Chain A
Amino acid sequence: MIYLLKIFQKEFLIYSRKSSSFISPVVFFLISISLYPIGISNDPDILKDLAPGLIWITILLSTLISFQNIFSEDYEDGSIEVLLASGQNISLIVLIKIFVNWIFSCLPIIILSVFSIFLLYLPQEGLRPLIISLLIGTPTICLFGALAGALSLGKNSITGPALMLPLSLPVLILGTQAINYSLNGINFFSNILFLIAILIFLLPIILFASVGALKLHFN
């Protein structure tokens, strides 16, 4: 238990000292959110309808950059090899790595998405489902991202991240639908429950698969 806490501390320190890890997704998010009104239209009525989807897709794309970070440094300095050889429970360590990555790559964007009320004219009642669905939906996306990152370790190809996008389709659908439901006065709670169910269902499977993908690079 204590070594897990130590690993958490270590990961947290590494991320907090490497400012690019959490600044680049945030910058990407803010820039693209402010580009939409310029590129599409500054009409509040049009933007209001598009806002839920735009925010979700932008978050999906801006987290894409950070997934290469989850394992790549540990892979290059050899600490993953040590962990794999140590006989510890690697899936828990992988889980901690994903969690810390989520804190630094997704959480700031989720907080910043509040600005979409002003920038994209999202109605105020849409804010609560937006934040809740993002809080529950983004961990699932991070799981897919970790798997993609583990598979494409040491390769600078777009195949890994691109693999993650079709997988995260259900999260995107349920998340945007929750916001649209609440804007139309429909109860969105069932969508949130489905998002939770998907997260719980996929968590062990993806962890297992990511550990398998990590082992792949050392045989």
Chain B
Amino acid sequence: MFQVLKNFYHKLGSYPWFYKISGKVIPFVGVLSISLIVISSIWGLFFSPTDAVQGDVYRIIYFHVPAVSVSQVIYYSMSVAAAVFLIWRMKMAGVYIKSLAPIGAAFTFIGLLSGAIWGQPTWGTWWVWDARLTSTLVLFLFYLAIIGMQSTFASRKSADTAVSIITLVGVVNLPIVKKSVDWWNTLHQPASITISGESSISNEMLIPLLLSILGVYLFVFFTGLLSMRAEISTREQNKEWFKKLSSNN
């Protein structure tokens, strides 16, 4: 088992192998993710019951919760990739961080935007300086800093290393930011779904929500693979294997 994982990990570091495998996986993931998002949106918007307190406004949860949760997961996965890059110098980890950062920023922005649209009718304001909103905003700023840092380096290797260092320092700082804004101010409702223990949301609403979360995660996987392939093809465009591959097609 361990040997299989180790082999997989080593293969993952190879551009040609990744390019070949991802090309096979992408169509399935794309179709699955988009159909999941469509199904869960229709289910959530038209068929799930109306909320007793918030009315129909709550239905934006099917966009808000997946976007916010995936934006955090992307950042944590990027920090794992940053550690991998700094320790084992695996080039693929640099590609991963570079391609996933804009996607993460986009989903954080969607989360903030949908939160603002949700906040207007329920709290009566587009924006409050509340703990969760502030830490999501800080997450967005971290993403922007990573994307901005990317472009200031001429050499690709130093850009990847610099970005990995920032990502790691950011992930160390993120819990501190979270805790400190928690003491500062809190208005946001607590998380509705927890992995351990009872969820505070009824099953009829929970199932489409879980479907939409799954759909968005797969969608990130899909777009991540696409942009990693694009990044690899710009980095390796003069290499022998890439020329051979593109002349075959």
**Chain A residues in the interface with B (C-beta under 8 A):** 147, 151-152, 155, 157, 159, 162-163, 165-167, 169-170, 173-174, 177, 194, 198, 201-202, 205-206, 209, 212-213, 216-217, 219
Contacts and interface: CB of A to CB of B under 8 A. Distances in A.
Contact of A163 (B158, B166, B176, B179): B166
Given A159-B149, A169-B177, 14 more contacts: A152-B152, A159-B152, A162-B145, A162-B148, A163-B145, A166-B138, A166-B177, A167-B169, A169-B138, A170-B180, A177-B184, A206-B169, A209-B168, A209-B169
Nearest to B159: A216
B71 to A, nearest CB: 15
Give the 5 A-B residue pairs with the shortest CB-CB distance, closest first: A170-B180, A166-B141, A163-B145, A159-B148, A173-B180
Interface in B128-164: 138, 141-142, 145, 148-149, 152, 157-158, 161-162
A155 B148 CA distance: 13
Interface string B179-194: 1110110000000000
The binding surface of chain B is classed by DSSP as helix
Nearest to A213: B165
Contacts of A159: 145, 148-149, 152
Nearest to A162: B145
A170 B145 contact: no
Interface in B170-210: 170, 172-173, 176-177, 179-181, 183-184
The binding surface of chain A is classed by DSSP as helix
A191 to B, nearest CB: 9
B86 interface: yes
Contacts of B177: 166, 169-170
Contact of B157 (A162, A166, A219): A219
A219 B86 contact: no
Contacts of B145: 159, 162-163, 166
7 contacts: A151-B166, A167-B173, A170-B173, A170-B176, A198-B176, A205-B169, A206-B169
Contacts of B148: 159, 162-163
A86 B177 CA distance: 38
Nearest to B185: A173
B86 A177 contact: no
A177 B182 CA distance: 13
Given A173-B181, A173-B184, A167 B170 contact: yes
Nearest to B157: A219
Given A169-B177, A173-B184, A212-B86, A219 B158 contact: yes
B134 to A, nearest CB: 8
A149 B145 CA distance: 14
Given A163-B145, A166-B141, A177-B184, A155 B152 contact: yes
A208 B152 CA distance: 22
Contacts of A166: 138, 141-142, 145, 177
Nearest to A166: B141
A170 B177 CA distance: 5
Given A167-B170, A202-B172, A151 B149 contact: yes
Nearest to A159: B148
A171 to B, nearest CB: 8
Nearest to B173: A167
Contacts of B176: 170, 198, 201
A91 to B, nearest CB: 14
Given A166-B145, A167-B173, A209-B168, A174 B162 contact: no
A162 B152 CA distance: 13
A174 B152 contact: no
A191 B127 CA distance: 27
Given A159-B149, A163-B145, A174 B165 contact: no
